Chain A
Amino acid sequence: MGKSSVDDLVEAGSEYHAGFVTDVESETLPPGLDESVVHFISARKDEPQWLTDWRLEAFAKWRKMREPNWAHVHYPPIDFQAISYYSAPKSQTDGPRSLDEVDPELLRTYEKLGIPLHEQAALAGVVPDPAAVGTPEGTNIAVDVVFDSVSIATTFKETLAQAGVIFCPISEAVHSHPDLVQKYLGSVIPQQDNYYAALNSAVFSDGSFVYIPKGVRCPMELSTYFRINERNTGQFERTLIIADEGSHVSYLEGCTAPMRDENQLHAAVVELVALGDAEIKYSTVQNWYPGDENGKGGIYNFVTKRGLCAGPRAKISWTQVETGSAITWKYPSVVLRGDESVGEFYSVALTNNRQQADTGTKMIHMGKNTKSTIVSKGISAGGSENCYRGLVRISPTAQNARNFTQCDSLLIGDQCGAHTFPYIENKNNSATVEHEASTSKVSDDQLFVCQQRGIETEQAVSMIVNGFCKDVFRELPMEFAVEAGKLLEVSLEGAVG
């Protein structure tokens, strides 16, 4: 019956909409990694000695470590000597990084990326109307754009400064706020935490730095767009967000990359620190190039993200919508050290064609009355493999800790796989740990019901998938929720013929 049955739908490849290459002149280091590369990066950024030393220390540790192989993903060995560890658009290497100096090519890039128009205006140097900033609708978003290795533009800096909020490239924060950077860098994710974190610590290029002072509610959403452009480069960005006591911030991260035949490595580190009564909401829409329908090319996304609820009643929530990357290996985690602190993880991971995702979270309960919630929605289509891996650890000190985990998988077609690995380590009898899991399929019947009411196949699948993800989309800031819905639609294009 033509296109109407699910089996028939799971055939052709999907099209990647962010797969353009931007033609900008760039300065790229030749492939290879040794101490001199670490020195070069550090020198290029004019870093203080302590940071150079810190990088070298990480590099020494990395050299002694082995690549992890426990994840449910398969790929040929990565040649770390074949990757270039630094690439920067040339026009940005001299002079001040003012907005009007942004290469027009790059602005066109943002347009193609679908960065909301008001942000483009800001990126293009249009001065925002201060009265419009921080409106209740939250229509203003401050953006930091990281293009290959370099942060090229940060918007709304002045408005944020008035509130005392620091939002700038981490390379800049090293100079402007060295005490904060030195105190917190590596404090949540130590250099030797894992192989990729060690690598990142040695060669990280740039990324965003955020500090929200005591009692301040950040007046707007903060956002970073990451873009890998150059061939053969890895991207190793590093993000550090510190919410001081009683403060509040919502941070959005978006990622895209061009279509390349070869695989590219992305090994980022994101550290969040929420002090007492502070709240950090971190949302990601990740759409790195997933490779073609045969699994050629695409980004290896090996990322370490962790937040520390350092003080009482601190709260950290991770919300992620992951549709991209050839391979995803990522477990945004929360260490609940403060009493009554709260950790949340809401995730949608969609895989299609040959994509592989091994993602989940870790909730480490240490404080009393700590509470964590995990809602994971995995969608597999084509011949992809989607795996949830989660750890809930209740330490002996975590009196009355509570966790609720819900893990749902949705299969589209019968060539794909969904796997769930929930690990629970409970060392305290007073804890409550609940786990619910389900696996369902987009059924022929559901599709037929939609079609019988006049809804075309592709829209029907996207509606059903969006319905499945509702619990997670609800957690995203409005504008992002719409974007995320559209992204799922685009990513499923292949799956619906």
Chain B
Amino acid sequence: MHLSRPRIGLRAVAGVAAAALAMLLGGTAAQAAPAPASQPAAVVQAKLPAVAPADLGGKKFTIATDTTFAPFEFRDTSSGDLVGIDMDILRAIAKDQNFQVDIQSLGFQAALSAVTSGQADGVIAGMSITDERKKIFDFSDPYFESGVQMAIAASNDTIKGYEDLKGQTVVAKSGSEGLAEAQKLAAQYGFTVKALDQSATMYESVKNQSAVAVFDDYPVLAYGIAQGNGLKVVTDKIPGGQYGFAVAKGKNAELLAAFNDGLANLKASGEYQRILDQYLNPQAASSGNIFQLAADSWPALSKGLWNTIVITLVAFVIALALGLIFGFMKVSTSRVLRGIATVYVAIFRGTPILVWAFLFYFGLPQITGVKGDIFWAGVATLALNSGAYLTEIVRGGLQSVDPGQMEASRSLGLGWGKSMQRVVVPQAVKISTPSIINQLVITLKDSSLLLTIGFAELLYQAQQIYAANFRTTEMLIIVGVIYFIVITLLTWLANYVDKKVNK
């Protein structure tokens, strides 16, 4: 059962301030439902009073969903549209029952809140039907039977069932139903279970044979295999929870009824099975070599690359200004100004970028009550961090200019400012240029950390893609190459400008 669904770690936090802060404080941002509902097959659907008409006359409903939970909802690699089992079923039902949907991709916890607070009419997000949740929601008929399944490397011919696992190690995701099931079987069949945090890590460790098998949610596993992640299944799925569409308790009864009617129609017409097969059947495997993958992913990656470059440049320009201001303060004769600059540098050099990213995006809005803007939160994070390093670079540059230069200029009757501007700064800039270029490159690389607050930069886009197609290694190689090319070009350009300006 998917009480605590496998998550793509940090990203799940993106829209949820509270969860992020919880994480900062050391907790895990799980969206687990609290109750261990233990009678999945015995779930009885509440009989609903109103019987809906088969036609809702084109009425529009807002439906909330998760951001990325393949294969139920995720963004298509090339089009960027939300697709997946949930999305396709919902759209097919809407068409069948003649209503319209406005899909809001909010993140799991936020989607639930949106429905309870009335901002959305319904939620479909790979959500298990539990007794606990039934106190707050009215659920549809189950539209998906989940469970846990074991997978092994496609090349492994020795494991045919649980009995062949004796003495071996298997992996499962921390806190998941897969882990619970694996541990139940471990005693009986004599194997060891190791808990891991990331889906990608689990699959990789089976492929590189540090573990023989992985226990994971059946749909996630089936989808991964369908995408060609190099695994296969040899045992049946262990039946688990059921997924349902939900509305707020006592509300939107006609929508719920329409969903149930539409679902029944889809099942009858074969459309339902066709949708499942599309995502879970190996025939649909994503194909092509790494170059094909790169070409297919380019629309999404180029968006990410653009965001990376824009946020890096905007942040760096501000960082340069900060570096100049605080750098001059550091060489000033005023003890107060020097003190301020020293504190600034100490704070931002002495704390990780991630702390500031979370603070600016999640923490600040809670304090001020103003909704955080992810771009400017990212800019502030990078600019303040980079500005601290640039402060030291500027200070070092200014101090490395012979004091005799300032004296000569002053002795000619030029003021301090003019002397700085015409004599000292040009020499300091020339001395510091290599370090400044270096800092630009570091800022560009650091911008990838902003994926943790959900900023859609290059690495974030790559993660979105491999969360959906499981071609982790290849995607990482592709983004690695893109970063390398961009940084090389940027360095060339900067050196070229340097040569032109600092003759």
Q: A and B: partners?
A: no
Residues of B within 8 A of A (CB): none
